[in-house]
Structure 1
Amino acid sequence: MAEIKLELNERKHGSFNLYDEGKKIGEMVISISGTNLTVYHTEVDPAESGKGYAKQLLDTMVAYVRENNLQVIPLCPYVHAQFKRHPEEYADIWNKQTA
């Protein structure tokens, strides 16, 4: 079963990393500054595509943002597309002022 871990450096740059049996198979690259969490890139190993891992990364990031009262700046094309496709689901956390 896949596991997602948030791994940040001292400057709050890092990623939500997706592991399966100890092997990294995906990531969502982020940084946190003030009350904003910026998502730069989401990638899953092509051999693992179609298994819903990108959505799991998105859901984990969204839960973290809500728990920590942050706003999302979705620079990542995947995350931005999901926010645009489901605006009602992400309205409370989408920082549109930076778009």
Structure 2
Amino acid sequence: METIKLELDEKEHGAFNLYVDNRKLGEMIISIKPDLLTVYHTAVEPDAEGRGYAKKLLEEMISYVRANNLMVLPLCPYVHAQFKKHSDEYKDVWKR
């Protein structure tokens, strides 16, 4: 069973981290400002690829920004590609 935790430092920099059995298998590196969440990088451990973990991280991040009325600046190539591919789904949170 996977668990995703938002872990931030005092400057609101950190990541959505994905754990399976207490082992970190994926991360989405972010920073948060009052009205903006910037995504810098998404990564999944090579031995955990192909299980949909990047998508789960994306879904968790989107739920968080919608719940907190934030916009997303997708500097991460994966997140930017998903926003372009599914622009209607993310148009309410995409800071272009």
User: TM-score, with normalisation over the residues of structure 2?
Assistant: 0.99
Q: Which runs of 4+ in 1 moved over 2 A?
A: none
Aligned ranges 1:52-71 → 2 under 5 Å: 52-71=52-71
Match of 2:81?
81
Aligned ranges 1:13-92 → 2 under 5 Å: 13-92=13-92
Matched residue pairs, number?
96
User: TM-score, with normalisation over the residues of structure 1?
Assistant: 0.96
For structure 2, the residue ranges without an aligned partner over 5 or more in a row are: none
Aligned-pair distance for 1:4? 0.2
For structure 1, the residue ranges without an aligned partner over 5 or more in a row are: none
Structure 1 vs Structure 2: percent identity of aligned residues? 61
Query: Which residue identity lines up with residue 20 of structure 2 in the other structure?
Result: D
Measured on the aligned residues, the alpha-carbon RMSD in Å equals: 0.4
* Partner SS, residue 82 of structure 1: helix
Deviations 1:9-59 (A, max 9, x none): 010000000000001111000000120000000000010000000000000
